[in-house]
């Protein structure tokens, strides 16, 4: 698999290049935002390791442009900031995960492996399905979520999280189970990923002013997706048709 590492710290890029190549990955380098966008178009990487603080174009701008042209390439954000708002913004724009500096190269390699493992597993899933509960509908084939027939704009990670909840209704899921099911982690190495994404997902499901308290917190345990009255139904999605 091919990885693109983007950071203006050349020593860090050199270190990550070495650590990732040792794991058998093909690594491409970029040191600013403009070069990063060109590299994504030219090299078509499977995953981008992307620093937020870049010259010319910020990592947020690069991430937005990546998502405009490719909704499938995985993105791992690097940030020296501890501000939760930066993390939330990155996740909202479609980042798959984030890691704050300083970090150990082994930790970054573990996260890269987890993200790529999840991507491979997703490609081997059964036929796409449509999940329904009340007026909430998630369609795996079109990657569309609607509430009362109004589109709900979710990031790729938020979509995966909602899909995981709707596929496991009425069951308490621990943070570890959610991390493994959505992010592909074998252990709790995701920090506040679950908490942050659940919080964002809840807000987006109530943007039309209608209360949809379908995701409940079970203190000290995890989260429970109850769904609306009548539970959650699953049916095979209709295949897409071309024009």
Q: 155-194, pLDDT tens digit by residue?
A: 888 898 999 999 988 889 998 888 888 877 654 455 578 8
- DSSP sequence for 194-237: HHHHHHHHHHHHTTTS-----EEEETTTEEEE--STT--EEEEP
Name the residue with higher pLDDT: 231 or 211.
Answer: 231
Percent of the chain predicted with pLDDT > 70: 86
In 3D space, the residue among 50, 12, 227 whose CA is nearest the CA of residue 136 turns out to be 227
Sheet with strand 215-218: strands edge to edge:
172-174, 222-225, 215-218
* Average pLDDT value for residue range 139-150: 89
Q: Given the structure tokens 């390699």, which residue do they identify? A: 109
Q: How confident is the model at residue 58 (pLDDT cuts 50, 70, 90)?
A: very high
The pLDDT of residue 186 is: 54
Q: What is the pLDDT, as a whole number, of residue 242?
A: 37
Q: Is-contact 2 25, C-beta < 8 A? A: yes
End-to-end Cα distance, the chain:
33
Assess contact for 4 and 54: CB atoms under 8 A. no
pLDDT at 68: 82
Determine which helix (DSSP H) or strand (DSSP E) holds 187, and give its type and residue range. none
pTM above 0.85, yes or no: no
Phi, psi of 16 (to 5 degrees): -70, -40
pLDDT value at position 240? 47
């Amino acid at each position: 698999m091919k990885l693109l590492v983007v950071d203006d710290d050349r020593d860090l890029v050199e270190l990550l290049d070495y650590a990732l190549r040792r794991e058998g990955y093909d690594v491409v380098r970029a040191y600013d935002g403009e070069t990063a966008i060109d590299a994504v178009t030219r090299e078509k990487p499977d995953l981008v390791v992307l620093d937020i603080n870049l010259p010319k174009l910020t990592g947020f701008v690069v991430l937005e442009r990546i998502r405009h042209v490719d909704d499938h390439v995985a993105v791992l954000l690097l940030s020296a900031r501890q501000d939760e708002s930066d993390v939330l913004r990155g996740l909202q724009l479609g980042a798959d995960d984030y890691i704050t500096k300083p970090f150990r190269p082994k930790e970054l390699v573990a996260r890269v492996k987890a993200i790529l493992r999840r991507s491979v597993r997703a490609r081997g899933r059964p036929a796409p399905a449509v999940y329904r509960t009340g007026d909430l509908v998630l369609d795996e084939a079109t990657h569309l979520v609607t509430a009362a027939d109004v589109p709900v704009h979710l990031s790729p990670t938020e979509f995966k999280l909602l899909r995981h909840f709707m596929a496991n209704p009425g069951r308490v899921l621990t943070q570890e189970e959610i991390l493994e099911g959505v992010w592909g982690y074998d252990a709790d190495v995701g920090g506040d990923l679950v908490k942050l994404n659940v919080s964002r997902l809840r807000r987006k499901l109530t943007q039309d002013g209608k209360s949809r308290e379908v995701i409940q917190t079970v203190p000290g345990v995890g989260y429970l997706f109850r769904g609306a009255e009548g539970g959650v139904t699953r049916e095979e999605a209709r295949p897409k048709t071309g024009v």
